[in-house]
């Protein structure tokens, strides 16, 4: 079963625009992560945010976490064609040591 759900399922933007993806989850968590997956490839870890953190930055990525709403967002600023990929959030429920992935957002950045 999927713990998280990303929204929107698909997103198409022009190069240079910002892309925002949202993730909602169901149970209390220790951490939330975002991953990127290019078509037919493995997943690449982007950023991990702990349940006691509210915001984290890494390069052009900004992640927020609202544990009261059980939601997170991933913002990619100044998008590039190379950002075209599927993006997944993953959460580890309290007391567990595994991450459960959401259904993903397919991002297409048009040059």
Partner 1 sequence: DTGVSQNPRHKITKRGQNVTFRCDPISEHNRLYWYRQTLGQGPEFLTYFQNEAQLEKSRLLSDRFSAERPKGSFSTLEIQRTEQGDSAMYLCASSSTGGASHGVNYGYTFGSGTRLTVV
Q: Give the residues lining the site for partner 1 (CB under 8 A).
A: 2, 4, 30-31, 33, 35, 40-45, 48, 88, 90, 92, 96-104
> Which residue's CB is nearer to partner 1, number 15 or number 61?
61
> Which residue's CB is nearer to partner 1, number 62 or number 106?
106
CB 23 within 8 A of CB 100: no
Tell the smallest beta-carbon distance from residue 6 to partner 1 (Å).
Answer: 8
Tell the smallest beta-carbon distance from residue 28 to partner 1 (Å).
Answer: 14
Which stretches does DSSP call E strand in 19-60? 19-24, 29-37, 43-50, 55-58
Strands 29-37 and 85-93: antiparallel
Residue 77: how many CA atoms within 13 Å on its side-chain side? 7
> Which residue's CB is nearer to partner 1, number 15 or number 26?
26
Whole-angstrom distance, CA of residue 100 vs CA of residue 111: 33
Tell the smallest beta-carbon distance from residue 38 to partner 1 (Å).
Answer: 10
């Amino acid at each position: 079963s999927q713990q998280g759900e990303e929204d929107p399922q698909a997103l198409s933007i022009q190069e240079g625009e910002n892309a925002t993806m949202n993730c909602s989850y169901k149970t209390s968590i220790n951490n939330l992560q975002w991953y990127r997956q290019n078509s037919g490839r493995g997943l690449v870890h982007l950023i991990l945010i702990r349940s006691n953190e509210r915001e984290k930055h890494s390069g052009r990525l900004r992640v927020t976490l609202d544990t009261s709403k059980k939601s997170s967002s991933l913002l990619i600023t100044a998008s590039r064609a190379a950002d075209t990929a599927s993006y997944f959030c993953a959460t580890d429920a309290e007391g567990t040591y595994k991450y459960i992935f959401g259904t993903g957002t397919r991002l297409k950045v048009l040059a």
